[in-house]
């Protein structure tokens, strides 16, 4: 046989072998899948036929679906049953009314957690704080409640009321009554208002330092941000402080538009990629640049999603100095996919956002790195009590009345901000901007951050453990009072044993990841 024929024959054998191997592997995977489906079918059949009580088959189906999704450890992937689709479409369309807060499920407590209330929203005005755990909604316990159900209960017609019981980070429980309203927020704000109640974006007229607070990324945020920056340019601003604290995020195109206003052309803003989603990188443009002076970004643990994208884009490209604390770590992309059967839809996480330096924004289980971190020397933390005092002063100053804007403008300094506004992070940001303008270099205004980050994680875990213990203690106290009052204790109301309390607290991570 000629040499070339032997080579052709050998290649044919190899190709055939690979095809057989691929076919075999594919059939094996299909076989495994059918066996797993068969297990579920057999289990359902036995329960329906043999259980002492007749099961609710629709309830069983929903529980199976939710259990399958919960195994992903991804609170943002959810199944929308047919009855949920209309409500979901209403939310996405922006025609709903509610309390105005970004929520998630706290995995340790298995309850609804406030990521951040939206400024000027009913939740914000009623005193709801970032990090609050919602224990009750209209008298119903929230333990085990899904994100979809939580949003459904918190939203409702304009003018209706919802009562929630929250536990603040301080450990204090509070009952808050909120009147629902259309969430229509002005997202771009300045430092103070003038006599006509328009925002004044110049923080420090002496050093020509502006201040812009962005509370959310919606379709109007881009044009409003551009107008604010152009106003600062006209007034000769040398630097601007961009405040993204407590910003829960919003639209990706708006985040890209805002980042582009500060960056020169050709800089990486963000990339998106997933297991089955090819990488898509977005770069800045020369035409999008609006402000060329120095920039300080303020962000904290309640800055999420789009606000993390902007913070990371400006920080990684050395366009801004980031002052504050590590951001929240919400950098996942969700897509709604109607099922082929027509029975509902799957809102599925199919990709993650990545910073220009290549790091993933999203915080996954057991992750050591997530979000965006300030540089060493610029980590400035605030305690829950300090944040509460600062937000109260901010809320009061944001109220539109005859007093706001009528005061004679005082000379602004970092010390004045600390004493009068109780805002340590804004004071540090202003100190950094003044130093850069006067000396040409960024002065360190905070700590190195390593120990602070570790302690912040430890504090967060300890607070969660305290909440778990407090919850169990509350239950025990109720049972003690029942017994002392001579009430009959039903089987379902038996006191919580110390062992049960131990089981509930074992999941709490007491030692932060190194």
Which amino acids are annotated catalytic?
Answer: 305, 316, 330
Question: Which residues 6+ apart lie within 8 Å of 369 measured at CB?
Answer: 359, 360
Distance (Å, whole) CA 247 – CA 187: 9
Q: Which two tokens stand for residue 164?
A: 């929630």
Q: Which residues face 281 on adjacent strands? A: 271
Handedness of CA 488, 490, 493, 499 (dihedral sign): positive
Q: Would you say 423 and 389 are in contact if contact means Cβ atoms under 8 Å apart?
A: no
Give the side-chain half-sphere CA count within 13 A for 183.
28
Is residue 20 within 8 A of residue 27, CB to CB? The reply is: no
**Residue 158 · residue 95 · CB < 8 Å:** no
Residue with tokens 């095809």: 19
Pairing of strands 268-273, 239-243: unpaired
Place of tokens 């159900």: 149
Nearest to 298 by CA among 415, 367, 379, 179: 379
Q: Residue 353 pairs with which residues in a beta bridge?
A: 272
Q: 435 vs 299, 428, 444, 445, CA distance in Å?
A: 20, 11, 9, 10
Q: Measured at the alpha carbon of residue 346, what is the angle toward residues 343 and 349, in degrees to the nearest 5?
A: 175
CA–CA gap between residue 356 and residue 314 (Å, rounded): 9
d(CA 204, CA 208): 6
Instruction: Tell me how far CA of residue 382 lies from CA of 52, 57, 179, 304, in angstroms.
Output: 56, 50, 30, 18
**How far is 161 from 178, CA to CA, in rounded Å?**
6
- The closest of 266, 265, 258 to 242, measured between CA atoms, is 258
Conformational region of residue 422, where left means phi above 0, alpha means psi within -120 to 50, and beta covers everything else = left
Tokens of 254: 């708006």
Task: Name the maximum alpha-carbon separation found in the chain.
Answer: 101
Query: Are 175 and 201 spatial neighbours (Cβ–Cβ below 8 Å)?
Result: no
DSSP lists the bridge partners of residue 188 as 214
DSSP per residue, 408-419: PPPPP-HHHIII
Token pair of 272 as six digits = 């998106």
d(CA 396, CA 271): 39
H or E element at residue 497: none
């Amino acid at each position: 046989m000629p040499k070339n024929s032997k080579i052709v024959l050998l290649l044919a054998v190899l190709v055939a072998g690979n095809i057989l191997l691929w076919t075999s592997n594919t059939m094996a995977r299909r076989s495994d899948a059918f066996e797993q489906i068969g297990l579920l079918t057999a289990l359902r059949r036995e329960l329906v036929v043999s259980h002492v009580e007749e099961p609710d088959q629709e309830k069983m189906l929903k529980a199976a679906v939710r259990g399958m999704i919960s195994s992903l450890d991804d609170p943002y992937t959810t199944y929308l049953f047919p009855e949920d689709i209309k409500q979901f479409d209403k939310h996405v369309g922006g025609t709903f009314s509610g309390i105005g807060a970004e929520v998630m499920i706290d995995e340790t407590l298995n309850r609804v957690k406030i990521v951040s209330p939206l400024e000027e929203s009913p939740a914000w005005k009623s005193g709801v704080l970032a990090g609050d755990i919602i224990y009750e909604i209209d008298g119903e316990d929230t333990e085990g409640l899904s994100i979809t159900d939580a949003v459904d209960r918190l939203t409702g017609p304009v003018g209706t009321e919802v009562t929630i019981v929250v536990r603040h980070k301080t450990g204090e429980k509070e009952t808050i009554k909120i009147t629902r309203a259309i969430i229509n927020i002005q997202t771009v704000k300045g430092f103070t208002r003038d006599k006509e109640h328009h925002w004044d974006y110049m923080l420090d007229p002496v050093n020509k330092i502006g201040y812009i607070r962005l509370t959310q990324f919606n379709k109007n945020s881009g044009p409003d941000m551009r107008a604010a920056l152009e106003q600062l340019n006209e007034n000769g601003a040398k630097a601007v402080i961009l405040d993204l604290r407590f910003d829960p995020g919003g639209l990706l195109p708006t985040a890209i538009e805002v980042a582009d206003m500060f960056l020169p052309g050709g800089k990486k803003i963000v990339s998106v990629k997933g297991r089955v989603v090819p990488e898509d990188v977005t770069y800045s443009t020369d035409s999008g640049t609006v402000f060329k002076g120095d920039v300080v970004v303020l962000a904290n643990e309640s800055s999420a999603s789009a606000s993390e994208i902007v913070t990371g884009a400006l920080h990684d490209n050395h366009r801004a100095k980031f002052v504050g604390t590590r951001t929240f770590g919400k950098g996942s992309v969700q897509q709604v996919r109607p099922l082929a059967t027509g029975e509902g839809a799957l809102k599925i996480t199919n990709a993650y956002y990545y910073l220009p330096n290549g790091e993933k924004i999203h915080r996954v289980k057991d992750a050591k790195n997530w979000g965006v971190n300030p540089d060493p020397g610029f980590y400035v933390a605030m305690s829950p009590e300090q944040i509460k005092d600062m937000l109260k002063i901010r809320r009061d100053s944001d109220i539109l009345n005859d007093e706001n804007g009528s005061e004679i403008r005082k000379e602004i300094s970092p010390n004045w901000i600390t004493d009068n506004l109780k805002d340590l992070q804004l004071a540090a940001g202003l100190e950094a901007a003044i130093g850069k303008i006067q000396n040409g270099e960024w002065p360190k205004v905070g700590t190195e951050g390593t120990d602070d980050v570790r302690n912040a994680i430890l504090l967060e875990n300890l607070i969660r453990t305290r909440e778990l213990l407090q919850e169990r203690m509350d239950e025990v106290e109720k049972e003690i009072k029942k017994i002392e009052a001579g009430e009959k204790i039903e089987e379902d109301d038996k006191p919580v044993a110390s062992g049960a309390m131990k089981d509930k607290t074992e999941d709490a991570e007491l030692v932060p990841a190194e």
